[in-house]
């Protein structure tokens, strides 16, 4: 056998053993608990005949630790916000392109091997996870991972630059104002005047958060300053949007296989039926009976088609990879307007993204498998 006939070390490895998936969850953002719940869902459903699984938790202080597979402890419910226990043994991730071995540091003991990782499933929501930071770390070491890369993750985490990208691609968005930290420090009155030009109500949001954390619906000028301060607890940059009257229609997008165009799911609808001014954190995670999720959404076919078209265009506008949930408003005037993209949407079996794919013929375990396969198939480095 000459040199060119040698199988590459990587292909020998892949043939010799099941791919190992590191499921990374928790993290530093205010969506820590939501991430734990998502990880519980994925760890329960992932096909153990096809994959070896290494659970890695990121504690709220950023420490990477060997995590529990006790999915019960990771469930989110009223009165129980799950959390990664940061006192476990620390996990070290390779930071070289030639090394795939994760290792564990127990206090007072030499480092021990935790196994080689083939693909990371970063089930992290919010800043320091869904925003390109973890993705950048994995890129440094040529480690494959599920979902969007550095730029798409960063842009789609930031409700300001997300809109800039959408507008640059001619995609429909609503009116908005950005208040940077410097704007607010220098001249808060000017920022509030700019907001007043949007009309009322407005939605005041941290630019980079999620799960409705820090969002307030403001109906009158005298409540605006307090709402901006609330948003600023989460992010020194604030985005204020004109309130849109309409229905919330969402679409799941999956990257195409082997360069094929992205796939759009059946569209779903979220309807807050009681008790909340909008789809806030409690409505999302703690008060199930106040919200109705339906899929397929009861909208005319041409509207569903338009949401799917806009969803795929939004996915491509920022060069998303793997998956994204695209959220739109279907307005009282009959228009479809983009609200946001989530590059790592809520991913428990009951979350909208998996439900939309289940309604489109890919059940939860199949969806997990598809995402891992897409990640394994992708080349490392610049794409
Ligand atoms: N401009 C808007 N007009 C009407 N409702 C809005 C607007 N922006 C947000 N909302 C409501 O607030 C919820 C959360 O806002 P969103 O921008 O999706 O933040 P998050 O990233 O935290 O999910 C939306 O699902 C919707 O119910
Ligand atoms: Mg949202």
CB-based contacts of 26: which residues, under 8 Å, 6+ apart? 32, 35, 36, 39, 57, 58, 59, 60, 67, 83, 84, 124
Structure confidence by residue, pLDDT tens digits, 4-35: 444 444 544 555 679 999 999 999 988 899 99
- Assign 222 to helix, strand or coil: helix
Least confident of 80-94, 249-263, 310-324, 361-375: 80-94
Q: Is 291 helix (H, G, I), strand (E, B) or coil?
A: strand
What pLDDT is recorded for position 39?
Answer: 95
100 lines ligand 1 (CB under 6 A): no
Consecutive H or E run containing 209: none
Question: Residues 71-125: pLDDT tens digits?
Answer: 888 888 878 889 999 998 999 998 899 988 999 998 888 889 998 999 999 999 9
**Which of 127, 209, 215 for a ligand 1 pocket mutation test, highest count of atoms within 8 Å of Cβ?**
215
DSSP-H helix ranges across the chain: 9-16, 32-45, 133-140, 150-157, 159-168, 181-186, 188-196, 224-234, 281-285, 301-317, 352-358, 364-377
Q: What digits encode the pLDDT tens for the residues 127-186? A: 898 899 999 999 999 999 999 999 999 999 999 999 999 999 999 999 999 999 999 999
Confirm or reject: Cβ of 205 under 6 Å from ligand 1.
Answer: yes
- Cβ contact 32:127 at 8 Å: no
Task: Determine whether the shortest distance from the Cβ of 243 to ligand 1 is under 6 A.
Answer: yes
- Residue nearest (by alpha carbon) to ligand 1 atom 21: 210
User: Looking at the CA of 157, which ligand is closest?
Assistant: 1
Q: What is the mean pLDDT of residues 190-208?
A: 97
Q: Is 110 helix (H, G, I), strand (E, B) or coil?
A: coil
In the beta sheet, which residues pair with residue 337?
A: 329
DSSP conformation class of 49: T
For 32, 39, 154, 217, the CA distances from 348, given in Å and listed in that order, are 14, 8, 23, 27
Asked if pLDDT for residue 320 goes beyond 90, the answer is yes
CA of 136 to the centre of ligand 1 (A): 28
Structure tokens at 376: 């394994």
pLDDT score recorded for residue 2: 43
d(CA 152, CA 106): 36
Q: Is it the case that residue 271 has pLDDT exceeding 90?
A: yes
Q: How far is the CA of 212 from the centre of ligand 2 (A)?
A: 7
Residue 278 Cβ inside 6 Å of ligand 1? The answer reads: yes
How many angstroms from the chain centroid is the CA of residue 185? 31
The structure tokens listed for 359 are 């309604």
pLDDT tens-digit profile of 92-105?
Answer: 998 899 988 999 99
Cβ(296)–Cβ(143) below 8 Å = no
Instruction: Pick the ligand that lies closest to the CA of residue 215.
Output: 1
Residue 273 has pLDDT above 50, yes or no: yes
**What residues does 241 pair with on adjacent strands?**
176, 203
Average pLDDT, integer, range 49-54 = 96
Q: What is the mean pLDDT of the chain?
A: 92
Asked whether 108 and 344 are in contact (CB, 8 A), the reply is no
Instruction: Judge whether residue 254 has pLDDT over 50.
Output: yes
Mean pLDDT calculated for residue range 277-303: 90
Chain-centre distance of CA 232, in angstroms?
21
The ligand that comes nearest to the alpha carbon of residue 162 is 1
The pair of structure tokens assigned to 80 is 């129980």
């Amino acid at each position: 056998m000459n040199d060119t006939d040698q199988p590459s070390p990587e292909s020998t490895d892949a043939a010799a053993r099941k791919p190992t998936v590191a499921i990374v969850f928790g993290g530093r953002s205010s969506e820590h608990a939501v991430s734990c719940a998502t990880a519980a869902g994925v760890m329960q459903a992932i096909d153990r005949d096809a994959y070896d699984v290494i659970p890695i938790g990121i504690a709220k202080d950023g420490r990477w630790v060997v995590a529990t597979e006790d999915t019960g402890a990771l469930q989110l419910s009223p009165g129980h916000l799950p959390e990664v226990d940061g006192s476990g043994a620390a996990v070290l991730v390779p930071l070289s392109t030639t090394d795939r071995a994760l290792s564990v540091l127990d206090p007072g003991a030499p480092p021990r091997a935790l196994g080689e990782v083939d693909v990371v499933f970063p089930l992290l929501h919010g800043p320091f996870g869904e925003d390109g930071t973890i993705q950048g770390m994995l890129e440094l070491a040529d480690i494959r991972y599920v979902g969007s890369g550095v730029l798409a993750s960063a842009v789609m985490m930031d409700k300001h630059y997300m809109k800039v990208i959408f507008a640059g691609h001619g995609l429909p968005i609503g009116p908005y104002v950005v208040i940077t930290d410097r704007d607010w420090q220098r001249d808060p009155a000017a920022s509030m005047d700019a907001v007043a030009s949007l009309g009322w109500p407005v939605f005041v949001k941290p630019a980079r958060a999620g799960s409705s954390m820090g969002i307030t619906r403001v109906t009158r000028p005298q409540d605006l300053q307090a709402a901006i301060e609330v948003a600023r607890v989460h992010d020194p940059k604030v985005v204020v949007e004109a309130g849109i009257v309409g229905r919330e229609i969402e679409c799941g997008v999956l990257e195409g296989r082997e360069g094929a165009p992205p796939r759009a799911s059946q569209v779903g609808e979220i309807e807050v039926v009681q008790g909340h001014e909008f789809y806030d954190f409690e409505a999302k995670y703690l008060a199930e009976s106040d919200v109705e999720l339906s899929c397929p959404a009861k909208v005319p076919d041409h509207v569903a088609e338009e949401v799917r078209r806009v969803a795929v265009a939004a996915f491509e506008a920022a060069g998303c990879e793997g998956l994204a949930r695209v959220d739109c408003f279907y307005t009282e005037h009959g228009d479809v307007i983009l609200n946001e993209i989530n590059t790592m949407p809520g991913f428990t079996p009951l979350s909208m993204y998996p439900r939309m794919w289940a309604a489109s013929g890919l059940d939860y375990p199949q969806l997990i498998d598809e995402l891992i396969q897409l990640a394994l198939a992708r080349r490392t480095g610049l794409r």
